[in-house]
């Protein structure tokens, strides 16, 4: 089986693919709005602490399980388990993660569809197709169905091409485009009137909020979502990493890129909101808090772009193209989780597996679209507030309590001979064993 498995061909290929999974709507949309609503720089600071102290160790746990197993999430977890109950536990955690990834994709592709529709809108406006422009930007079942389908097909196309020709090649193309767009937009927005007020709101901390329980819960949830944890995605990507790669530095690179891009997105979005305010757009809600969620991205920012005149059309196009690209590099990782399992477990051809699973996920998206008010928020809460933290915590338990320490060390030594003498090995094993599960459980219980 291993001979037919895909593999990342280069270190940079893995870094860009894993960073592509990590960097998505969570960074460009979620992080800035959560920062805005939770004391600005205080949230940024807590996010940095939790991303490096809790999410990075959990990320490493999943990465190592995958690289050791060289198989889909269920099989990789089974390889570190010993007797009967451990193997069953491995199945529950691995399959739970796969289900979580598939469910995540069912709502993520709806939101990503909105981004595609908003990318098309400046073009229809430019050619004077006003009715189409209105249809593209207003919530409707038909628009949601069509753009969710287009987005799902794009994801299916990339995943059907496999690891090297699909995930790696497209991540290498899309990630640099994303960074270039993000940096250009940020530089541009920072030159506009009102941007400096936004910069202050984003960067000057209100330390009184730093230990607010709700801030900590939001920051941890955001860090887990952002690093794609608890979905078996990192286990799968880890399984495509060559044995001569240094996992400690690979994991650190991906975490750093993810945090950096989230921070950069904040430098774009928050100042952009204040620029919009300077142009008369409403950016505070009735309670005086900054507007967040879909109102921000789908109302405030388009109003800002409208106010810019003809250049606004280009900026709007660039901004929503950026959001679409970021979503695509994340959704491909979500689809890869169930596809790799099905291909390896049932010996089905990748093309067939991708199409069947893509169709099932699209059917779930349709169910959500037709029952939007009841299901949309429910599926988001189920996957991001419950599924991801619980499964992420169980992966830490696997590494800390089930996997034999000497076998774990052997895996880490592959590609990093001296890891035993490094700070990482002195801290990470007991940290993952004790601190991570307890801290995640505490935050999780609190969020309930």
Give residues in contact with ligand PFF (CB under 6 A). Answer: 21-22, 24-27, 101, 104, 225-226, 228, 231, 233, 330, 333-334
State whether residue 348 is helix, strand or coil.
Answer: coil
Closest to ligand PFF by CB, 27 or 33: 27
Question: Within a 10 A sphere around the Cβ of 162, how many other Cβ atoms?
Answer: 19
SS3 sequence, 394-428?
HHHHHHHHHCCHHHHHHHHHCCCCCHHHCHHHHHH
92/434 with CB nearer ligand PFF: 92
Closer Cβ to ligand PFF, 46 or 334, answer by number: 334
Alpha helix (H) ranges present in 23-140? 25, 31-37, 41-50, 56-69, 73-79, 84-126, 130-137
C-alpha 298/C-alpha 320 separation (Å) is 10
Comparing CB distances to ligand PFF, the nearer of 124 and 354 is 354
CB closer to ligand PFF, 29 vs 305? 29
Q: Name the minimum Å distance from CB 117 to ligand PFF.
A: 18
As a whole number of angstroms, the distance between CA 87 and CA 92 comes to 9
| CA–CA distance, 145 with 169 (Å, rounded to integer) | 28
**CB of 104 vs ligand PFF, minimal distance in Å:** 5
> C-beta of 296: minimal distance to ligand PFF in Å?
16
Partners of 81 in beta bridges: none
Report the nearest approach of ligand PFF to the CB of residue 209 (Å): 23
Vertex 282: Cα angle to 30 and 384 (nearest 5): 20
Neighbours of 323 (CB within 10 A): 25
Q: Closer to ligand PFF at the Cβ: 25 or 283?
A: 25
Minimum separation from the CB atom of position 284 to ligand PFF (A): 26
Identity of the residue, 414 or 447, whose beta carbon is nearer to ligand PFF in the bound complex: 447
- Cβ proximity to ligand PFF: between 16 and 277 the closer is 16
Measured CA to CA in angstroms, residue 275 lies from 271, 304, 347 at distances of: 6, 7, 54
Phi-psi sector, 6: left (phi>0), alpha (psi -120 to 50), beta = beta
Shortest distance in whole angstroms from residue 190 CB to ligand PFF: 23
Shortest CB 112 distance to ligand PFF, Å:
10
Nearest approach in angstroms of CB 342 to ligand PFF is 17
Collapsing DSSP to helix, strand or coil, 40 comes out as: coil
């Amino acid at each position: 089986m291993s001979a037919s498995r895909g593999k990342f061909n280069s270190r940079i290929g893995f870094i860009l693919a894993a960073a592509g999974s990590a960097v998505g709507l969570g960074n460009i949309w979620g992080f800035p709005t959560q920062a805005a609503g939770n004391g600005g720089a205080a949230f940024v600071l807590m996010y940095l602490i939790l991303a490096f102290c809790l999410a990075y160790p959990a990320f490493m746990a999943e990465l190592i399980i995958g690289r050791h197993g060289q198989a889909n999430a269920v099989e990789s977890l089974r390889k570190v388990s010993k007797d009967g109950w451990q193997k069953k536990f491995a199945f529950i955690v691995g399959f739970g993660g796969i289900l979580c990834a598939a469910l995540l994709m069912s709502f993520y592709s709806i939101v990503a569809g909105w981004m595609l529709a908003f990318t098309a809108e400046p073009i229809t406006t430019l050619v004077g197709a006003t009715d189409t422009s209105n249809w593209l930007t207003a919530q409707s079942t038909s628009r949601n169905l069509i753009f969710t389908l287009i987005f799902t097909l794009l994801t299916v196309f990339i995943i059907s091409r496999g690891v090297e020709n699909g995930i790696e090649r497209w991540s290498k193309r899309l990630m640099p485009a994303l960074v270039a767009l993000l940096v250009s937009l940020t530089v541009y927005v920072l030159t506009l009137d009102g941007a400096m007020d936004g910069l202050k709101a984003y960067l000057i901390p209100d330390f009184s909020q730093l230990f607010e329980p709700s801030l900590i819960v939001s920051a941890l949830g955001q860090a887990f979502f952002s690093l794609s944890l608890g979905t078996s995605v990192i286990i799968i990507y880890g399984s495509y990493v060559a044995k001569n790669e240094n996992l400690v530095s690979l994991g650190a690179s991906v975490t750093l890129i993810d945090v950096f891009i989230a921070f950069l997105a904040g430098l774009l979005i928050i100042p952009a909101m204040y620029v919009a305010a300077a142009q008369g757009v409403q950016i505070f809600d009735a309670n005086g808090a900054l507007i967040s969620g879909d109102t921000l991205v789908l109302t405030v920012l388009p109003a800002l772009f409208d106010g810019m005149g003809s250049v606004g059309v280009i900026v709007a196009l660039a901004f929503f193209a950026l959001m679409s690209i970021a979503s695509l590099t994340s959704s491909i990782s979500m689809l890869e989780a169930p596809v790799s399992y099905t291909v390896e477990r049932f010996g089905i051809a990748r093309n067939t597996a991708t199409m069947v699973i893509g169709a099932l996920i699209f059917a779930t998206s349709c169910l959500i679209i037709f029952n939007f008010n009841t299901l949309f928020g429910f599926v988001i809460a189920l996957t991001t507030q419950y599924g991801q933290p619980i499964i992420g915590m169980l992966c830490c338990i696997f590494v800390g309590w089930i996997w034999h320490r000497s076998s774990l060390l052997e895996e880490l030594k592959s590609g990093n001979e001296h890891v035993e003498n490094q700070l990482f090995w002195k801290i990470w094993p007991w940290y993952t064993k004790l601190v991570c599960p307890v801290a995640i459980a505490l935050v999780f219980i609190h969020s309930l």
